[in-house]
Chains A and B, each alone.
Chain A
Amino acid sequence: MTSVARDLPASPGVETRSIGGHRRARVRRRLFSRGLLYVAATGLALWVLAPIYLITITAFSPRPVVYGYPKEVIPSQFSTDTISFFANATGVLPSLWRSVLVAVVTLVASTIIGAPAGYAIARFAFRGRNAFRLTVLSTRAFPIVILSIPLAVTFIDWGIYDTVWSVALMHTALALPFTILITSSIFVGVPKDLEEAALTLGCTPATAFLRVVLPLALPGLAAASIFTFVLSWNEVFAAVILTLRERTLPALVLSQLNDSPIPFRFAAAWFMMAPSLLFIFVIRRYLLGLWGRVSR
């Protein structure tokens, strides 16, 4: 701006105009970059939403429409035939329920075990802390197949093979490294001063955690729980090995729908998708509701 002003003759009118022109250019540039931002955001949203949308309309269309070409973007006919047929097919609803159960048990177990570990890593300096952080991750270095087969044997011994508990335990083991690492970084983000202030105001270490650290960590914990839930919900490999009849939904879909007609695959996809979307929507409230308030 100064260089423009310097190059121009010292007449006030000209200078004012040039500054005005400059400002217009800046406004244009800002509008342009904001426009770019919206384009990018819309693109990203479409990337996620388009498949969800297509799966949903296909799942709720009558069968002939599914096979028809070209595809309709706005559905003209609505039908729950495919969905209800799929839902009533043998084993679908029970396996849906099992999947939910496994995911919830995984979520609870991995939080109960993982969050304290994450807290310990965040707050206490103990011998081998860094080594522990690495070892925790190394459990993910074992392929699930190698873990699953001996585990299947163990679970048969324990009598919990082919139950939701075996799958939930496996999923907890898979989720734990992430739960521990994510929660530890969340707890690091809660200033130690706040906890100490609570201690001087009459809290025991436990009540200080419950009344100060936990509420502040909640958004982060919510994010971690989304991660865990989705991990368990989508996990199919261990679920296939560890169950025979008591299949979770992905295991059932994988083993039984391979040869099914296309409409049922869409119905299955919708069934897989809907609960985790619902879960994310519920948890999202905690994410936004609290992050807005955490201080600088």
Chain B
Amino acid sequence: MAEIRLEGITKVFDKKVRAVDDVDLTVADQEFMVLLGPSGCGKTTLMRMIAGLEYPEHGRVLIGGRDVTDLPPRKRRIAMVFQSYAVFPHLTVFENIAFGLRMQRTPKAEVTRRVEGAADLVQLTPYLGRYSAQLSGGQRQRVAVARAIVMNPAVLLMDEPLSNLDALLRLTFRAELKRLVAELKTTTIYVTHDQVEAMSLGDRVAVMREGKVVQVGTPMAVYDRPATQFVGSFIGSPPMNFLRGRTERENGYARVHLGAEALTIPALPARTDGEVLVGIRAENVVAEATPTPGAIAARTEVVEPLGSHLLVTAIVGDQRLKIQARTDFPAQPDTPLWLRPEPDKLRWYDPATGQEIAAG
């Protein structure tokens, strides 16, 4: 039970690489926070500083209101699941899970009880006597999780715990992990570069890029209202479409020129003037086979049937965008189609900075 507060955390490697750059982040008690970002964005380094395996050059780490910035890992009440699992090869599964309790000199009977309880939670009971080399990747991952949760940590840290599993196992474990963490109610920080994992697991997601946190929010909020062009193109599959356009106001209405085409919409964010980037998700564009009022003309380039829907790559002027169409939509390459974006799903970005231009 603990809130985590990071204040102005900065980590510099080799005196020049700013791996983590002035990060402020608060994770509420019992919250499941996902740190999401491409490789090298500093998310693992940030987690290691919370664990105490790295120390920041600047800033403070507070766990449950206590300043732990300079404390070693063992005094932080954290437990960590490593990407490699780090299961001790010279100990049995039982001794692996019991390791932390033994370090705390827990009485023998209690060690047995708690280890068996944790093993039961992750369905490892039949394997307690085995060594790491005799386990599959999935079982090793469970050992790592059991070894962490048996400690009753205030904070559970997980560093890409699913990335070494094959696709099918990953799907199963993702749901299992979500159930487990929801049951335990431990404050959890979870590092991943997989946006689907982040969306499905997190109460909130912190998107990182080049050492900075670019956006923090619920998965739906981050998906729906990316704070920057980067977030929009990193989260979602396919990524959000971004179209260069020019805005124009006209007695109460507004218009966006996309090349030769123009889209009339009810309102624009106040600060939008001139050049903008228009962001729109693939599923928020309605495709029409015939000219429709409020739709812009486009040309179909590629059609990809994906079972549940069609993924259509369309060309508007000289810009491409991907849209979702129903499976019965008569899409053919090199034929015209008409696109009607849902006006309230349009997002506006500054073409120079990539930052969202706030509404209102």
A interface residues, Cβ below 8 angstroms from B = 191, 193-194, 196-204, 207, 211-212, 215-216, 290, 293-296
Contact = CB atoms under 8 A, between A and B. Distances in A.
22 contacts: A191-B84, A193-B84, A193-B86, A196-B73, A197-B80, A199-B53, A200-B51, A200-B79, A201-B74, A201-B100, A201-B103, A201-B151, A203-B74, A204-B72, A211-B99, A215-B90, A293-B89, A294-B90, A294-B133, A295-B87, A295-B132, A295-B133
A296 B132 CA distance: 9
Q: 8 tightest A-B contacts by CB? A: A202-B103, A201-B100, A197-B86, A295-B89, A193-B86, A295-B132, A200-B80, A215-B90
Contacts of B86: 191, 193-194, 196-197
A199 B72 contact: yes
Given A201-B103, A202-B74, 7 more contacts: A193-B86, A201-B74, A201-B99, A201-B100, A204-B72, A216-B89, A295-B133
B88 A212 contact: yes
A197 to B, nearest CB: 4
Contacts of A216: 89-90
A11 B183 CA distance: 66
Nearest to A295: B89
B237 interface: no
Contact of B73 (A193, A200, A207, A215): A200
A293 B52 CA distance: 30
A249 B323 CA distance: 87
Nearest to A216: B90
B82 interface: yes
B74 A204 contact: yes
A293 to B, nearest CB: 5
Contacts of B74: 199-204
B126 to A, nearest CB: 19
Nearest to A294: B89
Nearest to A199: B73
B89 A197 contact: no
Interface of B: 51-53, 72-74, 78-80, 82, 84, 86-90, 99-100, 103-104, 131-133, 147, 151, 157
A196 B90 contact: no
A205 to B, nearest CB: 8
Contacts of B73: 196, 199-200
Contacts of A198: 88, 99
Contacts of B82: 193, 196-197
B171 to A, nearest CB: 24
B139 to A, nearest CB: 12
Which of the listed residues B78, B90, B151, B157 has the most CB atoms from chain A within 10 Å of its own CB? B90
A294 B147 CA distance: 19
Contacts of B90: 212, 215-216, 290, 293-294
A50 B98 CA distance: 50
A194 B72 CA distance: 16
Nearest to B100: A201
Given A196-B82, A197-B86, A294-B133, A202 B100 contact: yes
Nearest to A218: B90
B147 A201 contact: yes
A70 to B, nearest CB: 52
A8 B90 CA distance: 56
A290 B131 CA distance: 12
Contacts of A290: 90
Contacts of A296: 133
A203 B79 CA distance: 12
Nearest to A204: B74
Given A193-B84, A295-B132, A203 B103 contact: yes
A97 B18 CA distance: 61
Nearest to A205: B72
A199 B103 CA distance: 10
Contacts of B89: 194, 216, 293-295
A197 B88 contact: yes
Nearest to B51: A200
B133 A293 contact: yes
B322 to A, nearest CB: 39
A204 B80 CA distance: 16
Contacts of B133: 293-296
Contacts of B78: 200
Nearest to B140: A295
A295 B79 CA distance: 22
Contacts of A202: 74, 100, 103-104, 151
A225 B2 CA distance: 49
A18 to B, nearest CB: 39
A196 B151 contact: no
Of A193, A200, A202, A293, the most chain B CB neighbours within 10 A belong to A200
A204 B131 CA distance: 24
- Give the one of B78, B79, B103, B131 with max A CB within 10 A: B103
A201 B84 contact: no
A83 to B, nearest CB: 42
A196 B82 CA distance: 9
Contacts of A203: 74, 103
A196 B73 CA distance: 9
Nearest to A296: B133
A281 to B, nearest CB: 23
A201 B148 CA distance: 8
